[in-house]
Structure 1
Amino acid sequence: MAEPGGVLYDRLARVPEREWEKGAGLDALLEGAREPFVLRGLVADWPLVEAGRRSARDVRHYLLDHARDRPFKVSIGPPGHDGRLFYDVDMAMNFRVGTGKLADIFSGIDTAEELGEARTVYLASIDIPSHFDGLDAANPIDLGARDPLKSIWIGTRTRIAAHNDFPDNLACCAAGRRRFTLFPPGEFRNLYLGPIDNTPAGRAVSMVDFDAPDLAAHPRFVDATAAAQTAVLEPGDAIFIPSMWWHHVEGLEAFNILVNYWWRGTPAWLGQPQVALNHAILAIRDLPPEDKAIWRELFDHYVFENDASSTDHIPENARSILAPLTPESAGRLRAFLLRTLSQ
C-alpha cells in the first residue's frame, strides 16, 4: 500500500453516525448501546478543542495551564520510528517508557517541530483528575449517572494496534484527527492476537500491520475486514466503542489529543474477566482433554448458563456465592481467591 492504510480503509464500512441533543439526549443514546456510533461535534465547544483549532502550540499551552506539578508517563520511539507502538523483532517493545514533567515533554515536541524532525512521543491514558487541575470542569460532558474513568491521550503521529477494553468507551477527539477501525468482539480469531501477558499497554493486540497486512501470514484478516467499520474524527467529534469491540487507533496529524471516558455496566466490586481468563490458563488449559471437557460443562452450568437448576435444590439462605453476588459476598470470594493463589 503506497499510502498508509489507504487501500484498506477505503474499502471498509463506515461507523454509523447518530444525531444527538444536549443533556439527556446523549444519555439516551448510550443507554444499553451495543453497537458503535459517531457523534459529530459533540464537544466542539470545549475550550480544549478551540485551543487545538488555533494551533498545536496553543493547545499545549492550554494543557500546561492546567497541569499539576507531577511526573507524566511518556512513551518515546527511537529515531526513524514510524509511530507504530508495537513489538520489535524480538517481541520486546519498540519504544521506551519514561517519566517527565509535562512542560519538558512539550518542550521536546516544540524543538522537534522547529527542526522538522519526525519524533514519536505518546502520553497514553493519563488520568485527568490526578494530573490536571480544573481541566475536566472546564471541558465538561454530561454522561448522566455514569461515573467514568477520565483519561487523556496526547501525542504525535501514532498507530496503536487493534485491541479491546472491558468497559464501554466514549472517545472525544480534542485536537488533530483520529482514525478508528473497529471490529465486533467475535473477530478476535481473525485479528491474530499476540501474547496476553506481554503487551504494549496491558491488553492483547492484533499482530497484523494494518498499513501493510501480510495476508500470507494472516489470511483470515480478510474476513475481519469484511466485518470492520472505520471513522475519522475531526476536532470536537466523538465515537462510542462498546465493551469488548476491537479498535485500531491512529493519530493522523503531527500533534493529536484524545479525551476518553470509560465505564462499566456492572458494579466496580465485581472482578475483571481477564483475571479469570489468566487463572483458567493456569488451572485448566493444560489438563487432559477429558478433564477439560468436564470443567467446560461445570463452567457452563455455574457461569455461562447460570440458571435455576444450579441453585433451586439448595436452601435460599445457604446458596453462598451461587446466589447473586453482593459487595460483601464478592469481598469474601476475593479474599478466598487471594489466599488460595498465595499458597
Structure 2
Amino acid sequence: MPLVTAAVEERKDCRPDALPLDDLLAGGRPVVLRGLVRDWEVVRQARDTAAAVVAYLTGLSNGRPVQYSFGGPEVAGRPFYNEDFTALDCEVRRSALDALLREILAHVDDPRPPTYYMASLPVDTCLPGFRERNDLDFAAHDVQAPPSIWIGNRTTASCHYDALRNIACCCAGRRRFTLFPPDQIGNLYPGPLDPTPGGQAISLVDFSAPDFERYPRFRDALAVARSALLEPGDAIFIPSMWWHQVEGLAPFNVLVNYWWSSMPVHVPSPMHALYHALWTIRDRPEPEKQAWREVFEHYVFGPAEGAGAHLPEQARGVLGPVDETMSRQLRAMLIDKLNR
C-alpha cells in the first residue's frame, strides 16, 4: 500500500506545442500533465508491446556506446549503497544501446531480474531522429531544454532533488512519483554527497519499508508528501529543488525528461557554493557561524538589488547584476584565490 495518499494536482489541457510554462513556474508546485505526449510515436509503440518499443528505439540508435548501472537480483531495482555507505551496490557498464535493450527485454518475465538502469542519456547524442516525432516545443518559449532518455526495468531512483526545472514524460511502462517540498530535506535523511547513485544526494529511507526508529522525522515528511501515478503519455512538471522519488513499475520502462535552468549559462551551479561553505563556514565557532548567516542573508538571500541599492551604480561591482563579463571576472578571481 502506498505511504502517500495525497495526490499531485493535474491538468488535462496541455499539448506538446502549447506548454503552459508561465503557469507552471508561477504556481511553483508539481503538476501532472495528463496525456501531454500521448501522440508521441514512442508512446504509440508502447501501447503494443515492450518488444515494439525496443525495435523502435533500436531503429533510431546510431550505435554509440551508452553507460548504465547494473546490479544483481539482490539489488531489487534500487541502486543504493553498500552497508557502510562508502561504495555503491551497482557497477557502471557500457554497451551499445541495442544490446542493452535486448538484455532488458530478455528478463521481462523474470520474477527477480538483474537491475538495468540507463539514466539521463542525451537523446540528440544517441537517438538522432527521435525528436522528429517525440518532442516538446520549448523553443516557442525561448528555452533551451535538450531531452534525455531513461530506460530500465523495475528500477527506483531514490528520493533526490535537482537544481533544474524538469518536465518528465512517461513513454513506456508506468511510473510513480513521490514528491516533497524543499524544506523537507532534514526529514528525508540525505546520504553522502559523494559517492551518489545518480549525481545528487539521495534519501536513505527505503520508502517500501521505512525504518521509523532509525528515521523518525520521515513521518513529518510524509505528512506533506504528494504522489502521482503516470501512464504512458502522461508527464509531470517538477519545480527546481523539489525532492522526488521515481519508481518504474513495469518490467520495461522508458521516460524522457527536459531539464532547464532559471539562470543564463554563465551562472554556475550553487553546489559549488555549498561545497565552499562546508569547507569555510560549517566548522567555525557558533557566534561566527551566526554572523556569517547574517552576512549571507544580507548579500545573497535578501532582495537581489538590496545590498547595493545605496551605492552609485558605477560603484556596485558584484552587488549589481552579474552579467557574462562579471561572471568571467568572478571566476578568475576565485580561481586565483583558491590557488594561493
Q: Is the 2:104–2:152 Cα contact (8 Å) retained in structure 1?
A: no
Relative to 1, partners in 2 of residues 1:291 and 1:235: Cα closer, same or farther, differing over 3 Å?
same
Bigger shift: residues 297-306 or 252-261: 297-306
1:44 partner SS = coil
Q: 1:338 aligns with which of 326, 335, 339?
A: 335
User: Which structure 2 residue ranges, 5 or more long, are not aligned?
Assistant: none
Give how far 1:211 is off. 0.2
Q: Does the alignment pair 1:184 with 2:181?
A: yes
TM-score by length of 1: 0.93
Alignment partners' CA distance in 1, 2:304 and 2:239: 26
Bigger shift: residues 293-302 or 36-45: 293-302
1:152 partner SS = strand
Q: Is the 1:181–1:228 Cα contact (8 Å) retained in structure 2?
A: yes
Q: 1:96 aligns with which of 72, 91, 107?
A: 91
Q: Read off the aligned partner of 2:193 and give its amino acid letter.
A: I
Relative to 1, partners in 2 of residues 1:275 and 1:139: Cα closer, same or farther, differing over 3 Å?
same
Partner of 1:150: 147
**CA-atom RMSD, angstroms?**
1.7
Q: Does the alignment pair 1:58 with 2:55?
A: no
Partner of 1:225: 222
Alignment partners' CA distance in 1, 2:249 and 2:12: 25
Alignment partners' CA distance in 2, 1:196 and 1:31: 28
Alignment partners' CA distance in 1, 2:275 and 2:304: 25
Alignment partners' CA distance in 2, 1:277 and 1:236: 37
Q: Does the alignment pair 1:166 with 2:163?
A: yes
1:195 partner SS = coil
1:180-259 superposed matches below 5 A = 180-259=177-256
Q: Does the alignment pair 1:85 with 2:79?
A: yes
Structure 1, residues 308-332: CA drift from partner, whole Å, max 9, x if none? Answer: 6632443321221111111110111
Q: Is the 1:177–1:251 Cα contact (8 Å) retained in structure 2?
A: yes
User: Which structure 1 residue ranges, 5 or more long, are not aligned?
Assistant: 1-5
Structure 1, residues 31-63: CA drift from partner, whole Å, max 9, x if none? Answer: 433011111111001110111111111101111
Alignment partners' CA distance in 2, 1:275 and 1:181: 27
Q: Does the alignment pair 1:36 with 2:30?
A: yes
Partner of 1:112: 107
Matched residues, number: 336
Alignment partners' CA distance in 2, 1:312 and 1:194: 40
Partner of 1:290: 287
Alignment partners' CA distance in 2, 1:105 and 1:307: 48
Alignment partners' CA distance in 2, 1:221 and 1:19: 32
Alignment partners' CA distance in 1, 2:183 and 2:110: 45
Q: 2:7 aligns with which of 11, 14, 20?
A: 14
Give how far 1:276 is off. 0.6
Percent sequence identity over aligned pairs:
45
Partner of 1:134: 129
Q: Read off the aligned partner of 2:231 and give its amino acid letter.
A: E
Give how far 1:137 is off. 2.0
Q: Is the 1:300–1:306 Cα contact (8 Å) retained in structure 2?
A: no
Structure 1, residues 116-139: CA drift from partner, whole Å, max 9, x if none? Answer: 761210100111111111102221
2:121 partner SS = strand
Q: Is the 1:26–1:142 Cα contact (8 Å) retained in structure 2?
A: no
1:299-338 superposed matches below 5 A = 299-306=296-303, 310-338=307-335
2:254 partner SS = strand
Q: Read off the aligned partner of 2:234 and give its amino acid letter.
A: D
Relative to 1, partners in 2 of residues 1:21 and 1:308: Cα closer, same or farther, differing over 3 Å?
closer
1:32 partner SS = helix
Bigger shift: residues 166-175 or 297-306: 297-306
Relative to 1, partners in 2 of residues 1:95 and 1:309: Cα closer, same or farther, differing over 3 Å?
closer
Give how far 1:114 is off. 6.8
Bigger shift: residues 321-330 or 26-35: 26-35
Q: Is the 2:14–2:33 Cα contact (8 Å) retained in structure 1?
A: no
Q: Is the 1:33–1:242 Cα contact (8 Å) retained in structure 2?
A: no
Relative to 1, partners in 2 of residues 1:126 and 1:242: Cα closer, same or farther, differing over 3 Å?
same
Relative to 1, partners in 2 of residues 1:232 and 1:197: Cα closer, same or farther, differing over 3 Å?
same
Partner of 1:3: none
Q: Is the 2:72–2:113 Cα contact (8 Å) retained in structure 1?
A: no
TM-score by length of 2: 0.94
Alignment partners' CA distance in 1, 2:156 and 2:275: 27
